[in-house]
Structure 1
Amino acid sequence: MITVYDNAHFVLIKVFDKKGGNLLQIIRWDDMRFEIRNKWDWYFKYRAALAQVQHPKAHVEFKWGHCESSQKTLDQQKINKLRAKKGKVTEYKNKLAKVVTKWDSLFPIEEDQRYINTINKIASLEAELKVMEADL
């Protein structure tokens, strides 16, 4: 299933001398993720307004959309997901090490249900990480 996040997004600003006339200027941004396009939408609108101010009698077209992602964009998304997964594994391991060093209960920590759940969670995250690394 392809989601909006799997596509590359673009923004296109065209300035014509009159509606349907000669092209004066093109401003284009390509290969953006959806979040980036949304985050910087104010800037793209600002650039369209700036083009309108620079050419007051011109017709300014402002378009945005999505197209198939380039392989570079898809690879970057996979790398970002891999980094996030590694970060989660490290986070859980660090928290677990901190808890183990501060454990002061009568019973051993290996019998605590939260400890067992955390160990299982780390194991599942590491398995997912190995699958993701094999995919790259």
Structure 2
Amino acid sequence: MTMKPMGRHILAEIYGCDFNVLNDLKKVEEIMVNAALAAGAEVRECVFHKFSPQGVSGVVVISESHLTIHTWPELGYAAVDVFTCGDRVDPWDACNYLCSRFNAQQIKAEETVRGIIPDSLPELKAVNH
């Protein structure tokens, strides 16, 4: 029996980005939302925060899961993850959009498939810490 993953999760290290873009809350939010839309996702909610003296963190909740970011403008670096469920939305489309809009020089990214569920699951036992 062939099993299909429930989702795809990309962890991206994005380097050589424009300081002024990565340090602008409104620009980062707009780019993240547009990345989700460019990938064909349905945007549900957004929460973004500007740090002092610099940096932005945020999440775009999509029907298909989420996009998150944390920026280090002083290093030209953004840590991004894009998690999409189903096969209608391609998370790489969102990553490529982000790199383009952040004027990135380099990206290092890995994709992990999520939720490959076997026909029968072993019984879980509680773990005490």
> Normalization by structure 2: what TM-score?
0.32
Structure with higher Rg: it is: 1
Q: Normalized per residue, which structure has more helix? A: 1
**Higher RCO (Cα < 8 Å, 6 or more apart):** 2
Q: Normalized per residue, which structure has more strand? A: 2
